[in-house]
Amino acid sequence: MERPYPLILRRPPYPESLETNKEIEKNINELLDMDFIRNIGHNEIVEITTPVLITWNDGKSRLCGDSRALNNYTKADRYPIPRIPHALGKLAKDRYISKMGCMKGFHKNGVKPNSMKLLIIICHMGVYEYTRMPFGMKNAPAHFQRMMDTIFQEEILEGQMVVYIDDIIIYT
């Protein structure tokens, strides 16, 4: 049975260190510059979540929304994501392997206007609405995998490439 969305899916901003706030500012400004988010000011009726900063091993960071509350009410998209051991097994006998990644891949997908009200983040800088698919949404990986599999269907079926969400491996 589907659960209806609650009237309010709000989370207050997490208290962050000055260093983390600076990194959040950098990410927010980058997303604003690319038109992936827009400042909507303050609105009492919006559904708001708080950003979470994910830092990679190379020191780069990525902003995700803490969308756990919304994800709990989202019907799962069961599109299969490739298993890494299976993908690596395909590469074992090949001589040449090239890897490419889609830069900010999820953000390449637009968001329907009626969904934007659910994709709002709040931080020390203000209230922002995603205009592109953010990281942290339950079905974002399945949606992106489906899109990539559709685009590269012929190459995948011919055994020339493996696509794992936003990473592409070409092998010969």
Dihedral of CA atoms 149, 78, 88, 62 in degrees, nearest 10, equals: 80
Select the CATH number that applies to the domain covering 18-171 from these four: 3.90.180.10, 3.50.50.60, 2.20.25.90, 3.10.10.10. Answer: 3.10.10.10
Q: Which residue has the higher pLDDT, 87 or 52?
A: 52
CA distances from 86 to 2, 83, 172 (A): 33, 5, 17
pTM for this entry: 0.80
Neighbours of 61 (CB within 10 A): 15
Q: How confident is the model at residue 169 (pLDDT cuts 50, 70, 90)?
A: confident
Q: How confident is the model at residue 1 (pLDDT cuts 50, 70, 90)?
A: very low
Cα gap 95→172, rounded to integer Å: 6
> Taking the domains of the chain in order of start, what are their residue ranges?
18-171
- 84: three-class secondary structure by DSSP: helix
The tens digit of pLDDT for each residue in 93-151 reads 777 888 888 888 888 888 898 888 888 888 888 889 999 999 889 999 999 999 999 99
